[in-house]
Amino acid sequence: DVDISKNVLFGFSDSVVKVLMDRYLGENHVFYTDNYYTAPALTKYLQERGVGTVGTVRSHVSCF
């Protein structure tokens, strides 16, 4: 039973990923995503905590 809170930088789906990945931070894991979870802020957050990311992006959506 987990309470997921949304903040300005991370939306709800990103917040869910943060909670689920918390126990894997700093362990050199790789997080694979589809375009729904591929967000620059989430990618940067995970990368700064030792988790690599691989995912697809929508070409018509500006990410940076």
Q: Please give the pLDDT value at position 59.
A: 63
Give the amino acid at 28: N
Which residue bears the tokens 């126990």? 23
Q: Please give the pLDDT value at position 34.
A: 82
| pLDDT per 10-residue tile (average), the chain, 64 residues | 70 84 91 81 90 79 52
pTM for the structure as a whole? 0.74
Q: Please give the pLDDT value at position 42.
A: 86
Q: If you ran DSSP here, which 8-state letter would residue 18 be given?
A: H
